[in-house]
Amino acid sequence: MHAIEVHGVSKRYALGERRGASGTLVETLADLTGRIRRVAPPSLPREIWSLRDIDVDIAAGDTLGVIGRNGAGKSTLLKVIACITEPTTGVSRTRGRVGALLEVGTGFHPELTGRENVYLNGAILGMRRREVNAKLDEIVEFAGVAPFMETPVKRFSSGMYLRLAFAIAACLDADILVVDEVLAVGDTEFQRRCLGRIESMRSEGRTVVFVSHDLDAVTRLCSRALWLDGGATKRLGPADDVVSAYLASGRTFAARQVFTEDPTRPVSVLSVAVLDDAGTPTEALDRDTPITFEVRFVVRERVPALDMTVLVHNLRGVRVLDEAWSDSAPAPRREALGEYVARIVVPPIFAAGEYVAGIWLGTPFESILYEDDLLRFRLHGDANGRPNRITQLALPWDVRPVAPVAFAKGG
C-alpha cells in the first residue's frame, strides 16, 4: 500500500521567469512588442530542469531519505510532493494529510506571542483550533518553552524559536511528513530530539520523506534512500547501499584536483591535494596522524602581497580551518617568478568524520582562485563515543588532591 507515488515527474524552471518577478511591467511590455515585431529578445530565457523523470513509490509507514549535492533537486522534489508547486510533467500523488517542514518557523510572526504563533502555525499546517488545543500541552512540553508562551517570539532566543517551530510540526497529526534540511540548525540536544521524533513517527506508521546532508542520520532513520544528481535519479534502494554508493562516487571524494594552466594570468594554481603522513594524496586518512595540504602554483609576473588560505569545512558546514599564508609570513613579500609548492601541516586536531577542503588564492585586490569544495576526505578514527565534536585533542587533564577529607558527611 503506497502513501506516496511519484511518476515521471519533471520540473522546469525558466530563469527568465524568476527575473520577471523582480522585473517590471515595462520589461514585459518590451518583450511583447519585441515578439510582435519578430525581434528576438536580447537574452533568451534560459531554463533549468530541476527534476527529470523521477519515479519513486513510498509505502505507507516507510521512511525515504533523499540525498545529493546542492542543486540536485532535493528541495524541488519535496515541493512537488507537498503540492507547493506543480510538476512540469508527470504526477505525484499522496494519501492522507501532508505536513511539510521545509523551513523552520515559516509562519512565525515576531510580534505574536508563543501561544498565538502555535495557533497560527497550526492553521497554516491545516490543523483546526480544537486539534491544536488537544496538542497544546504536548507541543509546549516538547519545545520546553512553557514559561514563555505569553511572550512575543521576537524576545525568544533562536534556540527556543527553533524548538517551538519544530514542536508544532512534529506534533501535527500528519500521515505524511516531508522534512527538508531543518536539522542542520540548532544545538545537538535539539537535533537529537528531532531525530528521535522522526524515529517515533516512523514507528507510529507515518510516512516520512527526509532530505539531509547528514548521511549518518539517513542510514539510521531511513529504510530506503533516493540519490538525486542533476535532477535525475542516480540511485534508489536500501539506504545503506545508496549512501555508500554516494560516498564512494568519484565526485564525492577527491584527494587531489589538477587545474589546466592559464598562461595569460600572472599567477595560476596547478594542483591542490590532501596528503597523508607519507606524502601521498589520499581521501581516507587517519585522524591520529598529521595531514598535509599541498598547493602547487606558478608565478609568471611579480604580484604584490600574494596570499593564500586553506579552508576546511565539516559536513555540517562549519568552517573548522581557515589558515592564511600571511598569518605566518606577513607581507610585504615578493615572490620570484617560477613554480612553487606550498604545504601546510595540520596536527591531528579534527574529530573523525568527513571534511571538505578548498583554497583561496589571491591578493588584497583580486581573487585568483576561490573554491570551497575542491577536496573531500574522511578522517578515520575512534570518537571515543562522543561523535558530536569538532576538535578531538586528547588534552591532558591535571588532577591532583588539594586537601584530604576528614569526615564522610552524614556519617
Partner 1 sequence: MPRVTTSEAQVWTENRPTSGLRLPRLAELWRYRELVYYLALRDVKARYKQTALGIGWAILQPIVGVAVVTLVFRRIAHVPSDGIPYPVFALTGFLVWNYFAGIVGDATDSVVANTPLVTKVYLPRLAAPVSAVLPALVTLLPGLVVLAALMAWEHVAPGPALALLPLWVLLLLATALGTGLLLAALNVRFRDVGGALGTLIQLWLLASPVAYPASLLPAGWSWAYAINPMAGVIEAFRWSLLDGPRPGADLAVSAAVSLVLLVGGLFYFEHQERRFADVI
Does residue 56 touch partner 1 according to CB under 8 A? Answer: no
User: Looking at beta carbons only, is 70 or 260 nearer to partner 1?
Assistant: 70
- Binding range to partner 1, per CB under 8 A, among 120-128, 198-206, 273-281, 336-344: 120-128
Here's the x/- map for partner 1, 189-208, by CB under 8 A: it reads as --------------------
Please, what is the minimum distance in Å from the beta carbon of residue 151 to partner 1? 13
Q: How far is the CB of 166 from partner 1 (least distance, A)?
A: 14
Amino acid at residue number 255: A
Choose between 12 and 234: whose C-beta lies nearer to partner 1.
12
Cis, bond preceding 332 (omega within 30 deg of 0): yes
Question: CA-CA distance, 162 to 114, in Å (whole number)?
Answer: 12
> Strand order in 267-275's β-sheet?
256-258, 267-275, 291-299, 338-346
Candidate residues 81, 201, 273, 312; the one interacting with partner 1 per rule CB under 8 A: 81
Region of 76-84, 141-149, 345-353, 402-410 interacting with partner 1 (CB under 8 A): 76-84
Helix 129-143 and helix 158-171: axis angle, to 10°? 130
Classify strands 366-380 and 353-363 as parallel, antiparallel or unpaired.
Answer: antiparallel
Which is nearer to partner 1, 89 or 289 (by Cβ)?
Answer: 89
Site for partner 1 in 90-119 (CB under 8 A): 90-96, 98, 100, 102-103, 106-107, 109, 111-112, 116, 119
Stretch 140-179 residues interacting with partner 1 (CB under 8 A) = 152
Among 25, 36, 40, 403, binds partner 1 (CB under 8 A): 25
CB of 128 to partner 1, least distance (A): 6
Cβ atoms within 10 Å, residue 398: 5
- Angstrom distance (rounded) from CA 337 to CA 106: 55
Closest CA to 325 of 317, 315, 335: 335
Candidate segments 15-23, 157-165, 213-221, 308-316, binder of partner 1 by CB under 8 A: 15-23
State the nearest-atom distance from the C-beta of 136 to partner 1, in Å: 15
CB neighbours of residue 33 within 10 Å: 10
| Opening angle at CA 119, ends 130 and 84, nearest 5 | 105
Ordered strands of the 207-211 beta sheet = 98-101, 176-179, 207-211, 63-67, 224-229, 232-238
- Which residues on adjacent β-strands are paired with residue 310? 323, 359
Output the smallest distance, CB 215 to partner 1, in A: 24
Query: Which residues form the interface with partner 1 (CB under 8 A)?
Result: 13, 17-18, 20-26, 28, 79-96, 98, 100, 102-103, 106-107, 109, 111-112, 116, 119-120, 123-126, 128-129, 152
